[in-house]
Every structure is written in structure tokens, then in C-alpha cells.
Amino acid sequence: MSGKVTEIAQMNLSGTNDGKITVTTIEEPYGTGSESVASIGIALQAKAKEPDWKVHIPKANIDAVIDALQKAKEAL
């Protein structure tokens, strides 16, 4: 991964002792000219150098993902 990473938010991961959810933006994540993305990383331990899971979401998909997450929240 290349490009500038900007942290937007960090929160505790419910159900863990010290896990974290981190939301960032990444400019040119796949090299020069690639589309910037929002990135959500989940680390089971706060001191981890890399998240255990991460997802990159292009700007064009963010609204649809937010809608789907709202529906998932209502279904829980």
C-alpha cells in the first residue's frame, strides 16, 4: 500500500479487552493514480502494527455501505 494515510476516528472494539476500530482515508492506495478510499481497520489488540481485518471502500460506494450498515444495525 502506498499513499498518504489520514486518521479520521478510532474507537474501542466492543467485546475485546483492548481492540480498536480505526477509520482512515488513504490517497492512492494501490499506486500512483489509483482512487482514494476510506479504510476501516479492526485490530484485536490495540498495539498491533497492522489490523487483523481491513476493508477499503471507494468514495462512490460509501453511501450504499452506510445504508447497508444501518439496516444491519436494525436487524441486530
8 within 8 A of 28, measured Cβ to Cβ: no
What integer is the mean pLDDT of 16-22? Answer: 95
How far, in Å, CA of 21 to CA of 13, rounded?
6
Cβ neighbour number for residue 43 with a 10 Å cutoff: 21
Q: What is the pLDDT of residue 67?
A: 98
E-strand ranges in 1-76 read 5-12, 20-26, 37-43, 53-58
pLDDT (tens digit, 9 = 90+) per residue, 49-60?
A: 899 999 999 999
Q: What is the pLDDT of residue 46?
A: 83
Is the pLDDT score of 38 beyond 70? Answer: yes
Q: What is the pLDDT of residue 57?
A: 98
What integer is the mean pLDDT of 22-46? Answer: 95
pTM here is 0.88
